[in-house]
Amino acid sequence: MKRFIIVGLGIFGSGTAETLYEMGNEVIAVDLKDELVDRIAPHVTRAAVADGRHADVLERIGARDADAGVVSTGSDISASVLAVMALRDLDVGEIYVKVISRDHARIMRKIGVTETIFPERESSINLATRISRSNALLNYVRLGSGFSMQEMAVPNKWIGKTLRELQLRPHYKVSVIAVHDVMLDQMIPVPDPDAPLKDSDTLLLAGTNESLARVSRID
């Protein structure tokens, strides 16, 4: 079990807190708004109406030496800076911050956070990529600079063929992470290379953006 401190309980913060708790972790959730704290209280270890900008306040509710902290203070950039500094003062292992702009992200990186998350921008990029490439593209996630993962329907010309026959890595420079049988709702993380692909299957592929774009254009 790990211990997490969540500062800010908007949609992003509360969703993160609830998911971490469902995964069996100890979660301390903090916000200044009573209604947000009341809403999350049944879904976390401890919820408190408190000011996450102050180290002494966070320490009293158990934040010292937490494995990680998540800061999600909405549009209040100064509040996120102060919350990060408070978590650092309490020796929190890793600090993740939801940001609202590139400047916000730059400030957070300057003060040494583990990672910045820009949900609106990332979602817009993923959506734009997905709808511009192919109707067969179901999901798209950027994993890093120039590298991504996508889920796509099996192209018609690949139906009935096996992964061994297709040789996707040498021919297309992509790796098959999993095969999803949509009819059975079964994800196969280590697919049988000799099993024929079905029209009800989707492929989870990883590779460079250029390689994935090329594969997505196959009919």
Q: What is the CATH number of the domain that holds 200?
A: 3.30.70.1450
40-55 pLDDT, tens digit each: 999 999 999 999 999 9
pLDDT at position 133 over 70: no
Asked if 170 and 198 sit in the same domain, the reply is yes
Question: What is the C-alpha separation between 175 and 87, in angstroms, rounded?
Answer: 39
Domain span holding position 200: 122-216
How far from chain centre, in Å, is Cα 47? 23
Asked if 101 and 45 sit in the same domain, the reply is yes
pLDDT at position 31 over 80: yes
* Per-residue b or e along 40-67, where b marks 16 or more CB atoms closer than 10 Å to that residue's CB: beebbbebbebbbbebeebeebbbbebe
* Structural domain ending residue among the three candidates 64, 91, 117: 117
143-202 pLDDT, tens digit each: 777 888 989 889 889 999 999 999 999 999 999 999 998 888 889 998 999 999 998 999
User: In terms of Cα–Cα distance, which of 65, 75, 68 is closest to 6?
Assistant: 68
Asked if 100 and 158 sit in the same domain, the reply is no
Q: What is the pLDDT of residue 108?
A: 94
Q: What is the pLDDT of residue 134?
A: 57
